[in-house]
Structure 1
Amino acid sequence: MRYGVVEELAVEVMAQLPSDEARWEVMALVDVARMDPQAWPDVRDPGSVEEIREAFGRRCWIQYMPHAGAIEVRDIGWAG
């Protein structure tokens, strides 16, 4: 995937989204997060070494880890 690695859970969630519009909205959010991953809040647990961040769209959110020039999508949420 051009945006980076998508974990198995995120792939499963993408497949379960209700429409192409929903998938497009999530992918648009992934693109925004990839362009500036540090702009979103770091939500790692105290003591964790993984830099986990969350980005929020109008009806969706993603949890991801930034990597050099890409992001690793860990989870996707949909509220639409």
Structure 2
Amino acid sequence: MVFEELAVEVMAELPTDEARCEVLALVETVRRDPRAFPDVRDDGSVEEIREAFGPRCWVQYMPHEGAIEVREIGWAG
């Protein structure tokens, strides 16, 4: 897994260990089956961008061969 700088910053600012665990659990779910979640790329974009949602968080990521690149993490908790 590769985390973009913004995603790393969000992880560092999450309010509790529980929040970090929830985000990491969603990232692990995505890592196991990255194409199970919707492709949300803009029309004409060549980058495959997908999003997955948990109870209080979401991740935006790019699947790569054998890995994912986490571009953005959101927290609504």
Q: Which residue type is aligned with residue 51 of structure 2?
A: E
Counterpart of 1:24 in structure 2 is 21
TM-score relative to the length of structure 1:
0.94
Q: Which runs of 5+ in 2 are unaligned?
A: none
Separation in 2, partners of 1:41, 1:30 = 15
Separation in 2, partners of 1:22, 1:72 = 20
Separation in 1, partners of 2:21, 2:71 = 18
Counterpart of 1:66 in structure 2 is 63
Separation in 2, partners of 1:70, 1:20 = 25
Q: Which residue type is aligned with residue 55 of structure 1?
A: A
Runs of 4+ in 1 over 3 A off after TM superposition: none
Separation in 2, partners of 1:67, 1:20 = 28
Counterpart of 1:51 in structure 2 is 48
Separation in 2, partners of 1:9, 1:59 = 18
Separation in 1, partners of 2:28, 2:67 = 10
1:76 aligns with 2:73: yes
Identity rate of aligned residues, in percent? 78
Calculate the aligned-residue CA RMSD, in Å: 0.5
Separation in 1, partners of 2:67, 2:56 = 23
Separation in 1, partners of 2:66, 2:58 = 20
Query: When the two structures are aligned, how many residues end up with a matched partner?
Result: 77
TM-score relative to the length of structure 2:
0.98
